[in-house]
Amino acid sequence: MSAILEVKTAVEGFRLWPGALDAQAQTDLVDAVFARLEAGPFYRPQTPGGRPFSVQMSNFGPLGWVSDPVGYRYQPTHPETGRAWPDIPPVLLDLWDATVGEPRRPDACLVNLYREGAKMGLHQDKDEADLGAPVLSVSLGDAAMFRIGAAQGGRTTTLRLDSGDVCALTGPARLARHGIDRVLEGSSRLIPGGGRLNLTLRVAGISPR
């Protein structure tokens, strides 16, 4: 993979590589995602309170993040098909190595599909066994307004994530509150059926350093 350029952000530990994936790499990654969907189809999880998410989800890897009235957790199987999640596309593991410099390899990749009107409220990623490892996020398709603020509360910062951008929650930003306020519908034609795909790589299980 060629060198990818990181830019400085206003939030300590929030790392951003704009345009890390070029147009061909984005197309190839979308193909890799959709090729895996037969084995791990999108579904619409429920919050622990019983409300459906507006985002559709699937996962790749040995573990997948799920939410239902029992709560949030990682599990090795798809909640609707009962099948193991498909493997993580190898190009995402290369991207992990090229960006976050973290020796532990991700064992979970949450796949979020934002169709018309979908968004994601401010939250923290804290269901992983070891909160020391970063979370790496890849944006594909329509641009989105991403909001981030410190774990302990206070003001938030909003920035636009475009297709091919890669960002990470590391160090002091690992538990940052973050979410998607709005997707700029029709700003890209990359995703079959329209919308935005987001892939987040996590070290979810107990993996020794």
Ligand X SMILES: O=C(O)CCC(=O)C(=O)O
* Contact mark string toward ligand X, 38..77, x via CB under 6 A: ----------------------------------------
* Contact mark string toward ligand X, 95..134, x via CB under 6 A: ---------------x-x-------x----x---------
The answer to whether the annotation marks 178 as part of a ligand binding site is yes
Q: Which residue, 2 or 122, is less far from ligand X as judged by CB?
A: 122
| Long-range pairs of 24-31 with CB within 8 A, sequence gap ≥ 24 | 25/91, 25/164, 26/140, 26/163, 26/164, 26/190, 27/190, 28/91, 29/89, 29/91, 29/92, 29/138, 29/140, 29/199, 30/140, 30/141, 30/190, 30/191, 30/192, 30/197
DSSP helix/strand/coil, 173: helix
Q: Which of 165, 200, 203, 204 binds ligand X (CB under 6 A)?
A: 200
Q: Which two tokens stand for residue 16?
A: 């951003």
To ligand X, the closest distance from the beta carbon of 209 in angstroms equals 23
User: Which spans of this chain sit near ligand X (rule: CB under 6 A)?
Assistant: 110, 112, 120, 125, 137, 139, 146, 178, 180, 198, 200
